[in-house]
Chain A
Amino acid sequence: MDIAWYLVLSAFIFCIGGAGVLTRRSPLVILICLELMLNAGNLALVAFARMTGTGDGQVFALVVMIVAACEVVVGLGLIVAMYRSHLPMDVDDMSELHG
């Protein structure tokens, strides 16, 4: 199959994820959308790996997955902590970094 199909799919998923990050206000959903974007990237990496015939891309994909796992751990932990301390579950209400 032509590599373009994989890439189109990857771009499609990436855009869904991106749109989700930009439009949704719940931190949990944003986190999920981030995962979507990462996995879109992974898809592209694996596709390229297949195309070149080397394993490099797959190794990168593995690394990204590990990072994603870490991120989820931290992110979910934060969300749980926020929930426990009765903070608003809306990212627009959390603008402590306002300059």
Chain B
Amino acid sequence: MLSILIFLPLLGGIISAAWPRGGDDGGWRAGYVSLLFATVTLGISIGLIADFDSKAGLQHVTDFSWISQLGIHYKIGVDGLNLFLIALTALLWTGATAWSLFRQWPRPRNYYLMLALGETAALGAFCAQDLALFVLFFDLMLVPFYFLIGIWGGERRVQATTKFVIYTLVGSFLMLAGAVATGVLAAGNGQHVTFELSELAGRHLSTGTQDWIFLFFAAAFLVKMPAFPLHGWLPDAYRAAPTPVLTVLSGVLSKVGAYGFLRIALPLYPDAAVHFQDLLLVIALVSILYGSVMAFSQDSATMVVAYSSIAQLGFITLGIFSLRAEGAQGAVLQMVNHGLVVAPLFFIIALLSARAGGTDDLRRMGGLAARAPVLAALFLIVSLATLAIPGSANFMGEFLILTGVLKAKIVYALVAGTGVALAAVYMIRLYQRSMHNPLAAGAESRELTTADGLVIVPVVAVILALALYPQFVLHRSEKAVGTVVQQPQGAYIR
């Protein structure tokens, strides 16, 4: 069941790559096949949510020995941690594919294949319950994005790709080393080597070993998120990536990093997590403040959102390393929320750029709301959700994160509070500079098309639904999150 979910997009991608080049349809049919498969994947992921038993642990488990000599299992499963991230991945990829469908791409078949491969890799990373499998999917994600940015990207795409790859590869290698070390070192006398997460969590590594392995993993995850000061690849990559790629890059891939902390770092290296709690909290805090201040002073709309992602991911890290259930719950909720808001934001910015003469420079936008009330309304809702206006699920996420941090370390929470205020400043500035004020020269206010609406509106609908009932997520993630923070909390008390 879950394997179908993971590999279905890839199958779609392969079919669309092999689609005959009949006619001059610009790859429309090939993309259509891809979209179809992505939609079915979305359907399955919704089915997973409907079928989810919030009281049980890991569900829909597929587990067989893959490379038995090394103790590597092909083990996948769903629990409260990844349930909504899987759905988010499926939703955003469907949106990105649909968005791509209405635009022209050079070499469309390869494009859709790469996009689909990306989805499979991301879904695999979320579902994996085996450390080696996780590493595999984690690194597999790099491949399609390398090509997607490198081939279909905008200006200076080669430089952007190089930076992106160097940063993430360094992280990946560190993680690979860490993973191997974990598997080997955790096997005590007489025990066979295993990479299965649940079994690894039962084995205890010595504190010193935990420390350096944890740092390796943390580096990989922080690069992926990205967090200050490992975000060097972000401005270039975000600037160069085509819009649909950007939405999933920011909406999903950044979450894999945060998810990795919850799934791997905390349960496997609880002592180290406690040991480095302050370090990670400081990194998170600096990310929040730095990202916010940067977002506040950018002139490019894309960059505003890009830096705001750093700040938002900082909040998520903050919640995770409060090492308390409230904070981690908030982090899980916020991961979903951030993915949901950042994708439509990038779509809308793309629309606005098209209306402002092809630039996302805020100084050359303005007054775009006049003839586009629906677009303005959607943008407003998404902006408000991004700045976590109370009443949005994002607010509840931040509220829980702050609660957790405040109970763990009060000072951090007070500083993080300023981050909340700064978010309001840069988001409302973004909205006002683009939609309000006198109409800029060369800009034209135009309503969004039905096709674009079909991509954006469902995501906005999900945002609104979660705003009314955030407990929907929290209820289902509670048990898994409780298990995750249990270990470090135990170490805390020791």
Q: Within the complex, are A and B direct neighbours (CB within 8 Å)? A: no
Binding site for A on B (CB under 8 A): none
Give the B-binding residues of A (Cβ under 8 A): none
